[in-house]
């Protein structure tokens, strides 16, 4: 695999790299393939210590965390007002809404997984005793979360939240996500170039060993910093990395779809550590530690 330099001369230039199949060279794609014509990056929220996890509630309000400051924020969909809904979040990191409407988050500082009720923002620990980083929730309510400190992935059973070890890994996990059909659990190998895919059985448990699911670009030190991610409707992966935002096709995809798009973090910002597309499909939201940005995307970006 080719490696990219850590610093790009043109921050918003999209770069092309080749996957291991070593495809013939092709012209680098332009920003028009991803972003809406005339769009620019907009600051959503600034002045943070380390902005991280993102989610939207049923009413379209935007929720995100500032990990070291123990803060959980809400930005009102209608007014744009930003409020702290929890100032003692337990260093909440990755967050996701469950089918019960509650927000679940990796409160590693309190060694628990919290569940917040959005109407009151009261919280309860549904499991305790482990570190955690990022979280993914099946439609049936089963929870998976990563624990980088022990190189483990944990599973919480639906309804009871009974905890069991889902996977013990020989590498450090970080970001976690689900395939579109929810039959594969995707786990990012943080300091590498690989997203691993674990099969999920009918019982909502990991049913076999992992296989490489996506390959990403890495800088010259080979530390990919593969972090918050999501699968697009067309099956490609959208992920925050050391090189910025990347869009990757699944391993084994047809050669015509193997182009890897790398969008360096804008205006010299640090690595992209979390990324999501808004529920209306109009915006990509990115976290760069000190602030959160968004930018309008093409209506057909990521669509089948």
CATH number at residue 69: 2.120.10.30
Q: Can you give the pTM of this predicted structure?
A: 0.89
Residue 292's DSSP bridge partners are 45, 287
Q: In what order do the strands lie in the sheet with 143-147?
A: 135-137, 143-147, 152-156, 163-168
Please give the residue that has the higher pLDDT: either 27 or 121: 121
For the chain, the average pLDDT equals: 91
**pLDDT computed for residue 30 by the predictor:** 56
Residues in Cβ contact with 240 at an 8 Å cutoff, skipping those fewer than 6 apart: 175, 227, 228, 229, 271, 272, 273, 274, 275, 286, 287
Residue 116 lies in a domain: yes
- Work out the average pLDDT over 80-103: 98
Residue 302 lies in a domain: no
Please count the structural domains in the chain: 1
Please give the residue that has the higher pLDDT: either 139 or 19: 139
**pLDDT computed for residue 28 by the predictor:** 41
- For the stretch 196-221, pLDDT in tens is 999 999 999 999 999 999 999 999 99
φ, ψ of residue 259 to 5 degrees: the values are -60, 130
| Tokens found for residue 176 | 């976690």
Nearest CA-CA partner of 242 in 262, 217, 222, 225: 225
Domain that holds residue 289: 15-296
Q: Can you tell me the distance from the alpha carbon of 110 to that of 48, in angstroms, rounded to the nearest whole number?
A: 21
Residue 6 lies in a domain: no
Nearest CA-CA partner of 245 in 228, 223, 257: 228
Q: Can you tell me the distance from the alpha carbon of 131 to that of 145, in angstroms, rounded to the nearest whole number?
A: 10
Kindly tell me if the per-residue pLDDT of 10 is higher than 80. no
Buried b (16+ CB within 10 A) or exposed e, 18-38: bbeeeeeeeeebebeebbbee
pLDDT band at 255 (very low <50, low <70, confident <90, very high): confident
Kindly tell me if the per-residue pLDDT of 3 is higher than 90. no
Nearest CA-CA partner of 171 in 224, 239, 113: 224
Q: Can you tell me the distance from the alpha carbon of 97 to that of 63, in angstroms, rounded to the nearest whole number?
A: 10
Residue 279 lies in a domain: yes
Please give the residue that has the higher pLDDT: either 1 or 210: 210
Residue 8 lies in a domain: no
Residue 272 lies in a domain: yes
Residue 9 lies in a domain: no
- Work out the average pLDDT over 26-37: 70
146: left (phi over 0), alpha (psi -120 to 50) or beta: beta
Residue 190 lies in a domain: yes
Least confident of 17-21, 65-69, 300-304: 17-21
Percent of the chain residues past pLDDT 90, beyond the cut: 87
Beta strands in 169-243 (DSSP E): 173-178, 184-189, 194-199, 211-215, 229-231, 237-241
pLDDT band at 32 (very low <50, low <70, confident <90, very high): confident
pLDDT band at 67 (very low <50, low <70, confident <90, very high): very high
């Amino acid at each position: 695999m080719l490696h990219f330099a850590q610093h790009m001369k043109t921050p918003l230039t999209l770069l092309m790299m080749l996957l291991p199949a070593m495809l013939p060279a092709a012209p680098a794609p332009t920003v028009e393939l991803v972003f809406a014509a005339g769009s620019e990056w907009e600051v959503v929220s600034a002045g943070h210590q380390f902005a991280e996890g993102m989610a939207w509630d049923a009413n379209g309000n935007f929720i995100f965390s500032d990990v070291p400051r123990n803060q959980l924020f809400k930005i009102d969909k209608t007014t744009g007002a930003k409020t702290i809904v929890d100032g003692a979040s337990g260093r909440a990191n990755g967050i996701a809404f469950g089918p019960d409407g509650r927000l679940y988050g990796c409160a590693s500082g309190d060694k628990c997984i919290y569940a917040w009720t959005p109407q009151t923002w009261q919280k309860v620990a549904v499991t305790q005793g482990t570190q955690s980083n990022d979280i993914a929730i099946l439609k049936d309510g089963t929870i998976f979360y990563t624990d980088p400190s022990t190189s483990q992935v944990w599973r919480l059973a639906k309804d009871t939240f009974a905890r069991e070890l889902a996977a013990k890994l020989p590498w450090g996990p970080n970001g976690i996500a689900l395939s579109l059909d929810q039959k594969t659990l995707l786990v990012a190998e943080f300091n590498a170039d690989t997203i691993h895919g674990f099969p999920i059985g009918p019982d909502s448990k990991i049913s076999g060993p992992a296989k490489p699911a996506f390959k990403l670009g890495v800088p010259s030190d080979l530390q990919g910093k593969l972090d918050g991610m999501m699968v697009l409707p067309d099956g490609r992966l959208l992920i925050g990395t050391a090189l910025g935002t990347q869009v990757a096709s699944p391993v084994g995809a047809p050669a015509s779809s193997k182009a890897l798009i790398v969008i360096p973090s804008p205006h010299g910002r640090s690595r992209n550590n979390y990324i999501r597309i808004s529920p209306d499909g109009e915006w990509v939201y990115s976290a760069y530690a000190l602030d959160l940005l968004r930018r309008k995307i093409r209506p057909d970006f990521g669509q089948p």
